[in-house]
Amino acid sequence: MKVAICKFSQHWFVSLQSAIVLVGLLLLWSVRDAPWQPVSLLRLDALSAFFIVVTVVGVALSITKQTVAILRSYRIWIPLVCLVLVYTTTLFPVIVVVYMLLALFTVTNDRLSVQVKTLSFRVLLTQLPQMLSRVPILLAAVFLCVGYGMLMARGPLQYDDRLAGAAMDSLVFWFVLLAAVVPQSRLVPPQSDGNLSILWRIAWLYPLVRLYSVGPWNTGWSFATLLVGAAAALWLSLSALTHPRGEHRLHYMALSYAALALAGFGLSTNAGIAAGCYGLLTYVLLASLQNNHTTSESTVQTSSESLSTLWSLAPWALSGAIPFTAPFVAAWLLVGAAVAGGAGLVAGVVWLVILLNALSMGLYMALRPVPQWRMPAVVSLMLGVGAPLVVLSAIDPVIKQLQGGLTVYGDVNIWPWIGLATRDSGSTPVTAFPTIATAAFMLLLSALVYLLLRLRESFQLLPVTSPDLAETPQQITDGGTLRLDAMTAFLREEVAWLRALLGRLDRKSRVDDD
């Protein structure tokens, strides 16, 4: 009993993370068919639940033994509670006010606040670059305030108002788009507070995606969002490849998937929404590595013999270079959605981004000890192999809810335990990504190939011991290897269940002959 309690105390944060994921799935399932709206000002629908779950899970994945004290910090709980309020309210004024407060909360920290109170010119001058680097967040808040402010000035105060769609025009959309793009770009430097960074980078995408509930997007809006998201992803992946500091590489790699999610949302299709939501899941997974960056390097074992070969390959499961992992599936979903929507150039950009991220991960591993990213690697494999179930349970409700604001140029088919496929407007299959069943089938094929290769080595110059085989020398090749009948005899002798099966068939054939 004491041993069990000791083990639980050592890994209690893993139990906490698992519990948060389960609660999130239950929340998504509860609003799958219909939104929960106790009053007109509060509404919990599939989109709200998805952003709540992604935000909370992103913070939970960032928790390590060294950063667990952050759970007692008001700098996490206050923004988290405010964002839950934003995700569940229908009032535009509440959304604008909370985002303004979130921006102010982000650009300030305890140390900087104390220095401002001292009114020391010399101290403030030394902190001026740090203060200026946070200005883009305030700029994003101003853009959102202007965009939603113009929407409110034209009458509607709630996004579910019937007149809200008529009040939205290009000027409103451009400002809201700028508010979403700025935090996902390189204009905002990496922050030391990884948990808070995950919170507000996800949050700034919500006002833009919520515009689907206001009304459908026109072609120009979709194209602008798609173009800006793809360009930002390419810029961030290049920054990750060229930056000399490892933690900045991780930051830009993770942020490139948030930009790809923005591009997916810009497609305005079912497949695009699926790619965008899955991209956000990939982003929170990779963003959690920023808090594990120092921990991994400090706890990594210096002896290469003490680290197994399997776990030494764990970072590659987060690079996008290996199929059946979350980054690879995120790229595949966006490629399929882009091709189905007629944006083939974006598909090429996505593959280039994944290639650059894989190279960045290779450089990161080459310049430092291999990090112990075991849990993130396992989560990446689970998200990749279980992509059909993830899309069906967590993302498909969002697609159905936003159906009225989406176009028909691109759909996603979900086959649990089999895979995913994207189709264009003519219902023609564009791409297919088999997952669980095909992965198991590939394992069986790999095992069969391995067995045949081992048998082939054993068959080289193998003497013939069976009298039946010795009567026909033509069955032996010039190189000394056995033919198919000799292989069957060998397998019958070596494999017990095959010998029993073939013996049963032989007895049955003799009975039939008699």
Residue 131's closest CA among 101, 163, 108, 164?
108
Q: Which H or E run contains 7? A: helix 2-10
pLDDT at residue 383 tops 80: yes
Q: Calculate the alpha carbon distances from 461 to 456, 489, 494 in Å.
A: 10, 15, 17
Express each pLDDT in 401-413 by its tens digit: 887 778 777 788 7
The Cα 157–Cα 149 span in angstroms is: 10
pLDDT at residue 94 tops 90: yes
Express each pLDDT in 457-494 by its tens digit: 665 545 545 444 444 444 444 444 445 566 666 666 66
- pLDDT tier for residue 369 given thresholds of 50, 70 and 90: low
Task: Please give the residue that has the higher pLDDT: either 206 or 77.
Answer: 206
Residue type, 16: L
Q: Which H or E run contains 514? A: none
pLDDT at residue 328 tops 80: yes
pLDDT at 16: 67
- Mean per-residue pLDDT, 356-361: 89
Residue 183's closest CA among 250, 255, 120?
255
Question: Do 336 and 271 form a contact (C-beta atoms < 8 A)?
Answer: yes
Task: Please give the residue that has the higher pLDDT: either 439 or 392.
Answer: 392
Express each pLDDT in 17-76 by its tens digit: 677 777 877 888 888 888 888 888 899 999 999 999 898 888 777 766 555 555 566 677
User: Helices 246-266 and 289-299: crossing angle, nearest 10°?
Assistant: 150
pLDDT at residue 357 tops 80: yes
Lowest mean pLDDT: which of 8-22, 84-98, 476-490?
476-490
Averaged confidence pLDDT in the chain: 76
Task: Please give the residue that has the higher pLDDT: either 320 or 442.
Answer: 320
Q: Which H or E run contains 327? A: helix 326-340
Quote the DSSP letter at residue 344.
Answer: H
pLDDT at 129: 60
pTM: 0.78
Q: Calculate the alpha carbon distances from 257 to 38, 275, 285, 447, 484 in Å.
A: 35, 10, 10, 34, 51
Question: Do 294 and 395 form a contact (C-beta atoms < 8 A)?
Answer: no
Question: Do 297 and 371 form a contact (C-beta atoms < 8 A)?
Answer: yes
Task: Please give the residue that has the higher pLDDT: either 110 or 221.
Answer: 221
The Cα 325–Cα 329 span in angstroms is: 6
Q: Calculate the alpha carbon distances from 405 to 104, 268, 325, 399, 486 in Å.
A: 32, 8, 30, 10, 66
List the domain boundaries for the chain. Answer: 2-298+310-434, 460-513
Task: Please give the residue that has the higher pLDDT: either 213 or 244.
Answer: 213
pLDDT at residue 296 tops 50: no
- Mean per-residue pLDDT, 248-252: 86
pLDDT at 287: 85
pLDDT at 504: 67
- pLDDT tier for residue 184 given thresholds of 50, 70 and 90: confident
pLDDT at 234: 94
Three-state DSSP at 307 gives: coil
pLDDT at residue 87 tops 60: yes
Express each pLDDT in 258-273 by its tens digit: 999 999 999 999 999 9
